[in-house]
Chains A and B, each alone.
Chain A
């Protein structure tokens, strides 16, 4: 009876351990925002292959995409992301502040404010630029319909607002009063204020509404590629440097035992091959020695740091009763 029992125990122990052994092959969850879907699909495939060659470990990378703010809230509310790759630092700050899942200094742990790739805000106009829209002042002319999303509900649209405001500061000797009236005139020309950036793009491309779409450069490049002959990209005289940041979510990664691979996953985003891939998908690479078929116009770009960081910008422009709300006052 005894040997029989021991054999049984051994078998069941082995059976119980088998899944654990199999789970040593790690799974990484990258919670990202909407337009990075295609880029990370390509990046993940290559990273998994390289990781296998380097370490012999088989890993799986799962992706989750959605609006940047909604994704951050999902992580705060318990979606166990090992890494987050979002549209703005404000959303990762929120994960740090609200849920304490990563340290407040997360942005200093990787080069370039933890943003391996950048983008900027450009104009997407209809073919031939029939309304002759070349720079920011053209957008406030009477009869021009500008499409952009609501910065109160869309993280991406906050970059749009800041790019416009920043132009007005440059053009008016840093006068905040004049910058305020510029953005007021600009949003008076906005016939539809979609709740998200994707919605604004749909309104412009599918619904045919508006003369110009304020768009992330990478999305504009994608739109031109997908609808050849329908749209043109206009680069304004100045814009803002959009820095979509990345971070390991420490608490989750430690719990899953994935810290090493998670850190490597983000670090590798700065490698030449990844930078080339980002360039191919319309993001501006940080490395200057990278070339790909995408052409990026050179223009002066302000940074969020010039606005005092996201907390300051949020309070000054997008909080209740702040600059953006003042645009919409009852007459």
Chain B
């Protein structure tokens, strides 16, 4: 920092603290906080006497249950598979690993509608996977299961990318030491590797979950959108917009926003506690 200015004296490693802080706050305000504030502000102008009962109507609660249930299930699946994929990417060496590495991020790069259409085609009654599964009595497309799969698809990169760098920073010697002390593979993983990864896994879980809660494009095509059964909360927001009911849409969005935020807050708190504990240990 320019001490001569005598404004802020800082030992931060990030140079240009005033500029960096100012830009960051301005960006965060313009790009994140203000749009969210507008949503909440518009929601406050809604007629809550009619909206209140509607928000707790069976159709709305069913949609919220589905959105949160499917997102949680998908995020759980993502961290299990994601942790394993991260482990393969970091610890294994084989030809084509760069390809797998790049492939992991593809769900982030393709338009979600394309993902949804591809999944619906694949898992539909006439798709490759769908035809096989339907023959065995398992319906995927247009069921909550299909929604879960779509959400797992879009959330997977977050789970992998959250865990991989932490795993890479973990000295391989720990695993070797455990092995030389007689621990088998399962014990080594459960007692030595996993505890160090838990905060990262939780971070990946939170990201995948957040993505799932807000996901619209990919789900739309595979959900079937049947009220009470396969209708997700974001679709109800779209239905409100289609009626030019901006306040109603904002109100549902606010409920979704607040519940997502408290869920993420809880995960973040848990993650901080675990990180602090592993640092002490």
> From residue A69, how far is it (CB to closest CB) to chain B in Å?
5
Complex CA distance for A69 and B117, rounded to whole angstroms: 22
Any chain A CB within 8 A of the CB of B266? no
Beta-carbon contact of A152 and B120 below 8 Å: no
> Mask for B197-239, Cβ within 8 A of A = 1, else 0?
0000000000000000000000011001111100000010011
Query: B142 — which chain A residues lie within 8 A by C-beta?
Result: 191-192
Chain A interface size range: 20 to 34
Residue ID in chain B nearest A72 by CB atoms: B244
Complex CA distance for A150 and B226, rounded to whole angstroms: 9
Beta-carbon contact of A150 and B241 below 8 Å: no
Any chain B CB within 8 A of the CB of A319? yes
> From residue B236, how far is it (CB to closest CB) to chain A in Å?
9
CB < 8 Å neighbour of A199 from B126, B221, B239: B221
Beta-carbon contact of A207 and B58 below 8 Å: no
Beta-carbon contact of A320 and B54 below 8 Å: yes
Any chain A CB within 8 A of the CB of B121? yes
Beta-carbon contact of B241 and A69 below 8 Å: yes
Query: A155 — which chain B residues lie within 8 A by C-beta?
Result: 242
Beta-carbon contact of B235 and A195 below 8 Å: yes
Complex CA distance for A180 and B81, rounded to whole angstroms: 48
Beta-carbon contact of A325 and B59 below 8 Å: yes
Contacts A192-B142, A207-B120, A208-B126: A152 and B242 contacting too (C-beta < 8 A)?
yes
> From residue B268, how far is it (CB to closest CB) to chain A in Å?
33
Beta-carbon contact of B239 and A208 below 8 Å: no
Contacts A73-B241, A191-B142: A202 and B117 contacting too (C-beta < 8 A)?
yes
Q: How many residues does chain B have at the interface if contact means C-beta atoms less than 8 Å apart?
A: 26
> From residue A180, how far is it (CB to closest CB) to chain B in Å?
16
Query: A330 — which chain B residues lie within 8 A by C-beta?
Result: 58, 62, 228
Give chain A interface residues in 144-199, CB to chain B under 8 Å.
150, 152-155, 190-195, 199
Query: B248 — which chain A residues lie within 8 A by C-beta?
Result: 320
Chain B interface SS verdict (over half): helix
Beta-carbon contact of B243 and A98 below 8 Å: no
Residue ID in chain B nearest A149 by CB atoms: B225
Beta-carbon contact of A153 and B239 below 8 Å: yes
Contacts A69-B242, A318-B243, A328-B59: A206 and B224 contacting too (C-beta < 8 A)?
no
Complex CA distance for A199 and B225, rounded to whole angstroms: 11
Give chain B interface residues in 226-281, CB to chain A under 8 Å.
226-228, 235, 238-239, 241-244, 248
Beta-carbon contact of A207 and B239 below 8 Å: no
Query: A48 — which chain B residues lie within 8 A by C-beta?
Result: none
Residue ID in chain A nearest B221 by CB atoms: A199
Residue ID in chain B nearest A152 by CB atoms: B239
Residue of B124, B244, B248 contacting most chain A CB atoms (<10 Å): B244
Beta-carbon contact of A194 and B225 below 8 Å: yes
Any chain B CB within 8 A of the CB of A94? yes
Any chain A CB within 8 A of the CB of B133? no
Residue ID in chain A nearest B231 by CB atoms: A193
Contacts A193-B225, A207-B120: A150 and B125 contacting too (C-beta < 8 A)?
no
Complex CA distance for A21 and B107, rounded to whole angstroms: 48
Beta-carbon contact of A73 and B221 below 8 Å: no
A-B contact pairs, 22 of them (CB 8 A): A69-B241, A72-B244, A98-B244, A150-B225, A152-B239, A153-B225, A155-B242, A191-B142, A192-B224, A192-B226, A193-B225, A194-B225, A199-B220, A202-B117, A206-B121, A207-B121, A208-B124, A318-B243, A320-B54, A325-B59, A325-B227, A328-B227
B residues engaging A (CB < 8 A)? 54, 58-59, 62, 117, 120-121, 124-126, 142, 220-221, 224-228, 235, 238-239, 241-244, 248
19 new A-B contacts at CB < 8 Å, known A320-B54, A328-B228: A72-B244, A76-B244, A94-B244, A152-B239, A153-B235, A190-B226, A193-B226, A193-B227, A208-B124, A209-B124, A209-B125, A209-B126, A318-B243, A319-B243, A320-B248, A321-B54, A328-B59, A328-B227, A330-B62
